Amino acid sequence: MIDNISNSYVVLELPVQWGDMDAAQHVNNTVYLRWIESARIEMFQKMHKGDFKFKKIVPILAWQDCKYVFPLTYPDQVVISLDIIELLEDRVLCEGKIYSIKHERIVAISKSLLMAYDMEKLKKHPFPQPWKKSFTDFYGESILK
């Protein structure tokens, strides 16, 4: 059963591909990370209202983990939800959940830390105000830490 994902910042549905499976005949662990990455890209497209062109300040992945809950196989569809857990001055903590349509259950949970990075100065940068506004407009001020 899929949790109430209608309140998630991003919801993305993707097919499990035959080539996603490994020698053990289940979806390879790295595929789950790519699915979460796809949800993060969707998040930044939403933040920029469909424009994914970054200029001086870009988001970078600083840290990520993934708890594998249930093995997936082909054929299946997955639904990925991505939410912001904490919004700090210079970073944002995200939580992604991957659900199997076929098995009607959660199959993985991932947390990731994103930072803003200045491509000219080659160092971290405070999280841009328009990025913050996109999150607080969706979630309210309660995610600010």
Adjacent-strand bridge partners of 115: 60, 91
Residues 6+ apart with CB under 8 A from 115: 59, 60, 62, 90, 91, 124, 127
Counted domains in the chain? 1
Kindly state whether residue 110 falls inside one of the protein's structural domains.
yes
CATH number, domain containing residue 133: 3.10.129.10
Q: Which domain holds residue 101?
A: 5-140
Kindly state whether residue 118 falls inside one of the protein's structural domains.
yes
Local confidence pLDDT in tens for the 145 residues of the chain: 566 677 899 999 999 999 999 999 999 999 999 999 999 999 988 887 766 677 788 889 999 999 999 999 999 999 999 999 999 888 999 999 999 999 999 999 999 999 999 999 999 999 888 888 888 888 888 787 7
Kindly state whether residue 145 falls inside one of the protein's structural domains.
no
The model's pTM: 0.90
Helix/strand/coil percentages in the chain, nearest 5: 25, 40, 30
The pLDDT assigned to 11 comes to 94
